[in-house]
Chain A
């Protein structure tokens, strides 16, 4: 069975796979998207400092996660 190269969809796939320069565009687009995503995420963390919270934690503690350890064991044993 011959490969259906007369089908426009396969012609498009062939073009996208074999055209010089498309690969470079993919790498540049990928790097740009990652940098944008990371920048936005870092900005999101940075803006978290503006939240109206007085408490500061040098490291995550039980208080940070609103967790108070129970002195009793499982099922009251």
Chain B
């Protein structure tokens, strides 16, 4: 029988058998949203895709945006679990399972979007009966199939020892189905040396395999667009651009999932600030790379000035898609500022009065009022009547300065609240990344090659299915962590062993160079005490 320490059992295993009122309320709300989504989907099947905003030439809309978005989020597991496992990053241990679960569930939700987009779900069979190897859609089916099966296995393998632990430490009051479930999941796990060595070997192989598969998934998704000659999509940079965006949004989703799971299950002793800090460094790096690729993608379009391509760029910069484009940029810049600037702020600066939450609030209110006056229709006339000498440019400057001051004065608070900072940045990144997918798909769709331009607005059906997709993702996530510990118990305990062994090895000071040795000797001779 496998045993577990009292503290680990109390925090990691016991909550699996307890469920408060909040849990059931959350499940109820999610089921209602999913039920509404199911109703709207059945309605779409009955009445056809005409109930969506899609029409020729915009035959890809929100469903395709969501497909790319969710598949992108699925990269969280690969990055955190596989890459960090391969590189031996010890701090990954408490967060690998959450990352791997995100991968599996985001892939499920992402794949469902294809069924939504097809209108008639039976047509998915055409991919197999009529699929030709020359089609990027088929390459996508190949890579997503491999990634999905690989991710499920990669999620399951580290669960085996924990399932055995649950099987052997099941409380008497636990329902019989749990005993069957854990027995089945443990797959005869006994925990002897041979099994451990085989399991570790298998996990290592999967970790190495899953990385290139994950990279292939998102590059192939980009090829669905890039292998067409549609303006704005026919780009060689799309492959890495999509992968970077996927990892970026994946980390964002992981931060939010980590924080919510940590608070809900009281895992503060396991998921510490260390995980947030180190993952935050990777987040900052991905942010910088994302900015670089975004600049490269748009710069080449601007420099090329192709007759078919430039209107799409113009529609994003100052045309009908400028709102979604600039909100995306603003969200990403804000996320970068929130992530980086607190790190640069010296502690001693906190004494200045500018770094005050009240000052932040005042500036935010001023900036908000200025933006409302600028953006809300009819308000500009009111401003002109009240203050004839106040041109819109002055209001813009006021909004900008007040906004910048609000952010600057918030920096010490952000520095003190690392986890909250990461959640704010992650929320901004997720919004920005969803808009990025929108800005890639929709402007090209409504301005296609060799066809007159059109317009696309998602309908209630599409918004409902989007909400239902998010609800399904959360539902699977919440339910999964009611069955399996959110932290990989054996990996955390193994980490403690490694920490313990390392603490027993005295680390010698760096050996000084010969010149430094001479200087040290002379210094010691000069300061030698005389008795």
Contact = CB atoms under 8 A, between A and B. Distances in A.
A16 B165 CA distance: 50
Contacts of B501: 62, 67, 69
Contact of B493 (A30, A35, A58, A67): A58
The winner among B4, B130, B188, B193 for most chain A CB atoms within 10 A is B193
Interface residues of A, number: 44
A4 interface: no
A20 B129 CA distance: 7
Interface string B119-143: 0000000011111111100100110
Given A21-B130, A24-B128, A59-B497, A64 B196 contact: yes
A8 interface: no
Given A34-B146, A58-B493, A59-B161, A51 B508 contact: no
B192 A20 contact: no
A49 B189 contact: yes
B506 interface: yes
Contacts of A24: 127-131
A1 interface: no
Interface in A2-60: 16-24, 26-28, 30-31, 34-35, 38, 41-42, 44-46, 48-49, 51, 53-60
B277 to A, nearest CB: 26
A61 to B, nearest CB: 5
B507 to A, nearest CB: 7
A34 B187 contact: no
Contact of A73 (B132, B146, B189, B507): B507
A31 B142 CA distance: 8
A19 B188 contact: no
Given A18-B132, A45-B187, A27 B142 contact: yes
B142 A41 contact: no
A11 B145 CA distance: 29
Contacts of A61: 494, 497
A45 B133 CA distance: 36
Interface in B161-210: 161, 165, 187-200, 202
A35 B506 CA distance: 47
A30 B131 CA distance: 14
B149 interface: yes
Chain B: interface secondary structure? Answer: helix
A25 B377 CA distance: 57
Contacts of B505: 69-70, 73
B189 A27 contact: no
Given A35-B149, A55-B192, A77 B508 contact: yes
A2 B300 CA distance: 33
B11 to A, nearest CB: 16
Contacts of B150: 34
Contacts of B508: 73-74, 77
A52 B131 CA distance: 50
A31 to B, nearest CB: 5
B136 to A, nearest CB: 11
Enumerate the 7 nearest inter-chain pairs by beta-carbon distance, A residue then B residue, closest first: A23-B131, A24-B128, A48-B195, A51-B194, A59-B493, A23-B138, A59-B490
25 contacts: A16-B133, A20-B131, A21-B130, A24-B128, A26-B133, A27-B131, A30-B142, A30-B145, A31-B145, A34-B146, A38-B153, A44-B202, A45-B187, A45-B202, A55-B193, A57-B191, A57-B193, A59-B489, A59-B497, A60-B200, A60-B490, A64-B193, A71-B504, A73-B505, A73-B506
Interface of A: 16-24, 26-28, 30-31, 34-35, 38, 41-42, 44-46, 48-49, 51, 53-62, 64, 67, 69-74, 77
Given A23-B141, A57-B192, A73-B505, 10 more contacts: A19-B132, A22-B133, A24-B131, A49-B195, A56-B190, A58-B161, A58-B191, A59-B494, A60-B497, A69-B505
